[in-house]
Amino acid sequence: MNRLTRLTTIFQKPKVRLSLMALGVTCATISGHRLGTLQGLEQRLLNHWFRLRPLESRTVPVVLVTFGEADLKQAGGWPVSDRKLAQLLQRITRDRPAAIGLDLYRDLEIAPGRNELLQVFATTPNLIGITKAVKNGSGPEVPPPPILADRDQIAVNDLLLDADGVVRRNLLAIEKEGKNTLALGTKLALMYLKQRGVTVQGGDGGTCTQVGSANFCRLGANAGGYVNLDNGGNQILSNFLQIPGGIPQVSYTQLMTQQVPPSFLQDKIVLIGATADSLWGDRFYTPYTTDSSTTWAGVEIHANVTAQIVSSALERRPILQGVPEGLQWLWIGAAASLGVVLGWSLRSPQWLVIGLSGAIGGIVGLSYGLFLVGWWLVAVSPLLALLGAGLLSRSYQICQTLQQTHVSLAQHLEQQVEERTQALLQKTMALEQAKQLADKVNQTLERLARMDELTQVANRRCFNEYLEQEWQRMLRNQTSLSLILMDIDFFKLYNDTYGHPAGDACLAQVAKGIKSVLKRPTDLAARYGGEEFAVILPNTSIAGAAQIAQDIQANIQKLQIVHDRSQVSAHVTLSLGISCTIPTLAASPTQLLEQADQNLYQAKMAGRNRAIAVPLHLSNPSPQVL
């Protein structure tokens, strides 16, 4: 009994209770972080760090040879023929570049001129071709040109996309079928560095590689703001290099019409690729992307990766690394402890606001400062821990004050009871307001993490999680799960005609029209990417999904959004692909998604402004055009 009394006495001490508050807030914040609820916010904040960082005053030995819209006409269309490509490579080789990266698939013949191109491949030892090594949502695997594969002159051009579709990581190499293949940027950079006597050495435990002055270490699954990241292959965080004017580039037309001096390409790393806006499939979101007009072409990303590796190896440019998970936990704990101290010690509300504001500025400033020197330290999690602990300790301080006030009331004269009771009520209201504020902040953060800002429907991350969830639920219940993928017809022409602000407004109207059709709380509308939307329909047959698709089309037609450049209507229309299945253990949500995507493709090929429904099963079904 005496031991229990001593323990009770210890836990009643304010310092012990405050320590437990800091520990509790730390554990709760870490749990939220580990569940991935804050990952999207951390990534968005990282985007802002990139945009705030000043331009770097350095030169890079990298040159882009690009195919823009005018170049496609000059080259006679797309894809460029083997003869045109052979002539381009011969023109570049004449200026003696250090390495040439061909970021164009050339596994199939593009007549005329196949023999000429093969001859160039066979006689250009510093030429690197590409292969797509991983089958994913952007397309199937693409083999390399056999003649370059036999000479080990190939590299993979796969890019790593986060859940929100943004490129924030560099793939250095990938191991497939027991063979290690370098990425395009890595291979070109190492060829250039080898000519300058820079060697490559293995690091600690095979997780790091020393290249000149730079030590490239593999990205951990929970480094920085990532949670349970698929970190297969050798990948690192991308420390995008932004210099005045960007990486130097010349157009195909300028090069072939002798407008480029030989010194411009001599001893440089030359990358060849397409940047035309009409080739949308090879454009990607980066931290610098704010709308569809600021996306990067794939070849621009590969060139930037090459420049990152070379500048780090030769000039000690920082490599962006994620702070290890253990240190980030300590960082969150320190923020929670600081919040408890501020909330308890600063009794004045004004000073509490000033103290918390200063702490917030310190957390944000330290995170940004470490980013500038090459470290990604989370900031959203410690900010939540700081504010949560500050509000909690402040609430505890108010409770302590209320208790002391209650004791003193008993010692006061009877006529003062009414006045003291009023003061108690006011402080109780302040406590309730603080709790309501904390709840509102939590609700806002949760909504922002799962909603697309522009269209106000679920984002891609929410779509992926919900599809997996409903797949498992329908698997248990053995009932139908339907999926509709839809794409705004000729949306790029709409953007080109009316401008990106009008395009954004169009996306918002279409999303609202789609969402208004869904009546059940289990139905989910989401932005799948760009101008694509998706609808998940649990417990819905193929016929029911087809009816909903028709209702969506009718709803969009009612909006009467003018589209003068559309080739199927005077107003904005949709093409839709519908698929349905009863989940089994042998199948996966990806198969349902691929079937819907195939049906969407068929709808486009059939003339657009229509829906095609094909259920997912083992037999070969006939498509149903709606």
How many other CB atoms sit within 10 Å of the CB of residue 412?
11
Classify residue 142 by its DSSP letter: B
Report the distance separating Cα 325 and Cα 227, nearest Å.
Answer: 9
**Secondary structure class of 608 (helix, strand, coil):** coil
For residues 319 and 214, the answer to whether their CB atoms sit within 8 Å is yes
Q: Is the pLDDT of residue 573 over 50?
A: yes
Q: Where are the beta strands (DSSP E) in 502-590?
A: 524-529, 532-538, 574-581
Query: 527 in a domain, yes or no?
Result: yes
Do 153 and 232 have their domain in common?
Answer: yes
Q: Is residue 45 part of a domain?
A: no
Number of residues that make up the chain: 626
Contact between 35 and 29 under an 8 Å Cβ cutoff? The reply is no
By the 10 Å C-beta count (0-12 exposed, 13-18 middle, 19+ buried), 511 is classed as buried
**Tell me: the pLDDT tens digits for 507-518?**
999 999 999 999
Residue 79: domain span:
57-316
Average pLDDT value over all residues in the chain: 89
Residue 112's CB is within 10 A of a number of other CB atoms, namely 12
Does a structural domain hold residue 398?
yes
Q: What is the mean pLDDT of residues 137-151?
A: 88
| Residue at token pair 């003061």 | 423
Average of per-residue pLDDT across 480-491 = 95
Give a yes or no: residue 51 inside a domain.
Answer: no
- pTM for this predicted structure: 0.63
| Same domain for 156 and 92 | yes
Q: Is the pLDDT of residue 550 over 70?
A: yes
Q: How confident is the model at residue 413 (pLDDT cuts 50, 70, 90)?
A: low
Over residues 193-241, the pLDDT tens digits come to 999 999 888 766 568 889 999 999 999 999 999 999 988 889 999 999 9
Letter for the amino acid at 142? V
Q: What CATH number is associated with residue 520?
A: 3.30.70.270
Percent of residues in the chain assigned helix, strand, coil, to nearest 5: 50, 15, 30
Side-chain half-sphere CA neighbours of 197 within 13 A? 0
The neighbouring-strand residues paired with 529 are: 532
Given the structure tokens 């070969």, which residue do they identify? Answer: 620
- Same domain? For 607 and 487 the reply is yes
In a shared domain, residues 579 and 609: yes
Among 262-266, 566-570, 615-619, the range scoring the smallest mean pLDDT is 615-619
- H-type alpha helices, 69-198: 69-74, 82-94, 114-122, 146-150, 184-195
Please tell me whether residues 76 and 129 are part of one structural domain: yes
In a domain? residue 5: no
550 shares a domain with 520: yes
pLDDT at 621: 45
Stated as kind and residue range, the H or E segment containing 15 is helix 14-34
Radius of gyration of the CA atoms of the chain, in A: 30
Boundary (domain end) residue, out of 449, 476, 499: 449
Minimal CA–CA distance to 534: which of 606, 447, 603, 593?
593
Predicted confidence at residue 440, as pLDDT, reads 78
Which whole number is the average pLDDT over 57-86? 92
Nearest Cα residue to 493 out of 554, 601, 569, 598 = 569
d(CA 573, CA 553) in angstroms, rounded, equals 7
Residue that has been written with the tokens 């690729």 in this structure: 273
Six token digits for residue 211: 């290249």
Is the pLDDT reported for residue 609 higher than 80? yes
At residue 362, the pLDDT reads 95
- Please tell me the total count of domains within the chain: 3
Shared domain check, 180 and 279: yes
Q: What is the average per-residue pLDDT within 265-271?
A: 96
Local confidence band at 393 (pLDDT 50, 70, 90 cut-offs): confident
CA separation for the pair 281, 487 (Å, rounded): 14
**Domain edge (last residue) among 417, 449, 481:** 449
User: Would you tell me how many other CB atoms lie within 10 Å of the CB of residue 368?
Assistant: 16
User: What average pLDDT does range 11-40 have in this prediction?
Assistant: 86
Per-residue pLDDT tens for 320-357? 999 998 999 999 999 999 999 998 888 888 998 999 99
324 in a structural domain:
no
- Alpha-carbon distance 145 to 129, whole Å? 7
Residue 301: the pLDDT is 96
Question: Is residue 115 over pLDDT 50?
Answer: yes
Q: Give the span between the Cα atoms of 386 and 362, in whole angstroms.
A: 11
Q: Are residues 80 and 205 in the same domain?
A: yes
Residue 392 CB-density burial (10 A; 0-12 exposed, 13-18 middle, 19+ buried): buried
Q: Decide if 531 is inside a domain.
A: yes
Q: Which helix (H) or strand (E) holds 403?
A: helix 380-411
How confident is residue 394, by pLDDT bands cut at 50, 70 and 90?
A: confident
Q: What is the DSSP string of 237-294?
A: E------TT-S-EEEHHHHHTT-S-GGGTTTSEEEEEE--TT-GGGEEB-TT-SSGGG
Confidence band for 444, pLDDT divided at 50, 70 and 90: low
Residue 472 lies in a domain: yes
Q: Are residues 107 and 218 in the same domain?
A: yes
Q: What pLDDT score was predicted for residue 620?
A: 44
3-state secondary structure at position 323: coil
CA–CA separation, 549 and 246 (whole Å): 45
Q: Is 362:387 a contact under the CB 8 Å cutoff?
A: no
Using the predicted structure, report yes or no on whether residue 622 has a pLDDT greater than 50.
no
**What DSSP assignment string belongs to 415-444?**
GGHHHHHHHHHHHHHHHHHHHHHHHHHHHH
pLDDT over 90 at 54, yes or no: yes
**Collapsing DSSP states into helix, strand and coil, what is residue 458?**
strand
Q: Average pLDDT of 606-621? A: 80
One domain for residues 220 and 74: yes
* Torsion region of 355: left, alpha or beta (phi above 0 gives left; psi -120 to 50 gives alpha): alpha
CA dist 394 and 342 (Å) reads 8
Backbone phi and psi for residue 38, each to the nearest 5 degrees, phi listed first:
-105, 0
User: What per-residue confidence (pLDDT) applies to 160?
Assistant: 93
Q: Average pLDDT for residues 531-544, to the nearest whole number? A: 95
**Same domain? 231 vs 179:** yes
Residue of 5 and 13 predicted with greater confidence: 13
Q: Which two tokens stand for residue 155?
A: 């590299």
| Euclidean distance between CA atoms 572 and 243, whole angstroms | 40
Q: Is the pLDDT of residue 11 over 60?
A: no
Q: Which strands form 234-237's sheet, in the order they lie side by side?
A: 179-182, 169-176, 234-237
- Residue-wise pLDDT for 416-441, tens only, equals 767 787 877 788 787 777 677 766 76
For the chain, give the percent of residues with pLDDT over 90.
Answer: 72
Residue 447's pLDDT band, with cuts at 50, 70 and 90, is low
Answer yes or no: do 210 and 355 share one domain.
no
Task: For residue 401, give both structure tokens.
Answer: 């004050």
Q: Which of 449, 472, 507 is the last residue of a domain?
A: 449
Please tell me the predicted confidence (pLDDT) of residue 21: 87
Residue 571: Cβ-neighbour burial (10 angstroms; 0-12, 13-18, 19+): middle
pLDDT number for residue 416? 73
Q: Say whether 214 sits in a helix, a strand or coil.
A: strand
